[in-house]
Structure 1
Amino acid sequence: MTSTATTPEQYLDELTEERHQAVRKLRDTVRENLPDGFEESMGYGMIAYQVPLSSYPKGYHAGKEPTPLPFINIASQKNHIALYHMGLYSRPDLLDWFKDEFPKHSKRKLDMGKSCIRFKNIDDIPYDLIGDLCGKVHVQDWIKVYESVIKR
């Protein structure tokens, strides 16, 4: 479900109380563990964490003009809460680590596709694991990964 909210707080205010609390806790987890240099905003109708153009002027090249380089998004979808982590999609070592760690932190089977981790039961979100995941990629590392992919 795409939101028209222009701030993360507006986004949270649109959610049901149950979803609000889970997404807020997920947001807090990301903010507490994400290395310096990523900026929180709204992107693609979701809460977004990205490399700002002030740090990486080349930006993301999905349109005519560069935009901040996306990294993590949080969304409340119709049937689940989603965490989109682009590092999982582009770094096989990180994906392997996450897949190995997930069963140690959750009773549920990992439900993901490419960069999207889906949590259908909000009581089973492994916030500690998400925090560890968020701290594993620094801004400069993410820029290098992005640049290595766009040069192909």
Structure 2
Amino acid sequence: MKYEASTPEEYIAQVPEERKEVLEKLRETIKQNLPDGFQEGIQYEMIGYYVPLSVYPDGYHCAPNEPLPFMSFASQKNSINLYHSGIYAIPKIHDWFVNEYPKHSKRKLDMGKSCIRFKKIDEIPFDLIAELCSKITVEEWIDVYETNVKKK
């Protein structure tokens, strides 16, 4: 589902009522645990966290005028999805998350390359997400991006 929003507050105001509290909790979990330097906003029609152009003026290689994306979340038709670029780009973080997930949830992990789908929104492992958020600093993310993705 797509929402027309220019702020995270506008985004959450548009989702179905039964998801608002969960999205607010997810948002607060991310904001409280992301290292300093990431900025929150709307990016790719989702609530996103990214490296602002004031910190990394080169921007995202696909769209240099846009900030370097890091993570985001969205309310989809059948799930709440969390997108984390570090899971995709850093095998150590991917493996850590896959191994930790069963310790925090009875559900089978439903994950794509960087997307974690939560179909039972009352069972989102917020403690695990908090720990995931704290694993990469802005400087480390820029280094990973420049080493693995960006064409030099």
User: What TM-score comes out, normalization by structure 1 length?
Assistant: 0.96
Q: In 2, Cα distance between the equivalents of 1:14 and 1:151?
A: 38
Residues 67-121 of structure 1: CA distance to partner in whole angstroms, max 9, x if unpaired?
A: 1000010100010000000000000000000000000000100000000000000
Residues 29-81 of structure 1: CA distance to partner in whole angstroms, max 9, x if unpaired?
A: 00010000000000111000000000001110213x43100001010001000
Task: Report how many residues are paired.
Answer: 151
**Runs of at least 5 residues in structure 1 that lack an aligned partner in the other structure:** none
Amino acid at match of 2:49: Y
1:70-81 matches, within 5 Å, as: 70-81=69-80
Root-mean-square deviation (Å): 1.0
**Runs of at least 5 residues in structure 2 that lack an aligned partner in the other structure:** none
Q: In 1, Cα distance between the equivalents of 2:66 and 2:46?
A: 15
Secondary structure class of the residue paired with 1:142: helix
User: What TM-score comes out, normalization by structure 2 length?
Assistant: 0.96
Q: In 2, Cα distance between the equivalents of 1:77 and 1:121?
A: 12
Matched-pair identity in %: 58
Where does structure 1 differ by over 2 angstroms across 4 or more consecutive aligned residues?
none
Given that 1:12 and 1:20 are in contact with CA atoms closer than 8 Å, whether structure 2 keeps it comes out as: yes
